[in-house]
Amino acid sequence: MAVVGLLVATSVPALTGYAKQVRLKTATREAIGLLSLARSLAISSRSVRSVLLDEDRHELVIEETLEQDEPRRVRLPETVDVSLEGGAAGTGRVVFQPTGALSTPSATISLVSGTKRQTIAVTSATGAITLRSDAD
């Protein structure tokens, strides 16, 4: 019985940390998917598309879809902190032009959970979306 108790006591913290890591990776994949969709929509519709980061609501949303029955959005777990650097000055937006490029300087979205950080970079000239992972 003591052996079982020892196994449970050591495995629960490991599982909790693993679950946080999985939530962070999933949120990052969903955010990249939404950014890619906004860029594709801008190119295919030949119109501007912007992704709004709402830090208070923990979500990213393609603004032009807000009037639809089901807006294109990604809700992030409460355990994941998100921030945007660059993009449209102080508006919390990443704006894609009909060419796929950004209308603003490059943007960086950081998602953090515990000591793990995932950084999504969007380059200004091409709108290319890349992922950088690192530990703090």
Residue 39's domain comprises 2-135
Q: How many domains does the chain have?
A: 1
**Domain with 125 in it: what CATH number?**
3.55.40.10
pTM for this predicted structure: 0.84
Residues 72/35/134/59 CA torsion (nearest 10 deg): -30
- Looking at per-residue confidence, does 136 or 130 come out higher? 130
Q: Which of 125, 83, 123 is nearest to 107 (CA)?
A: 123
**37 pLDDT above the threshold of 90:** yes
Q: Band the pLDDT of 123: cuts 50, 70, 90.
A: very high
- Tens digit of each residue's pLDDT (9 = 90 or more) over 62-119: 998 878 888 899 999 998 999 999 877 678 899 999 999 998 889 999 999 988 999 9
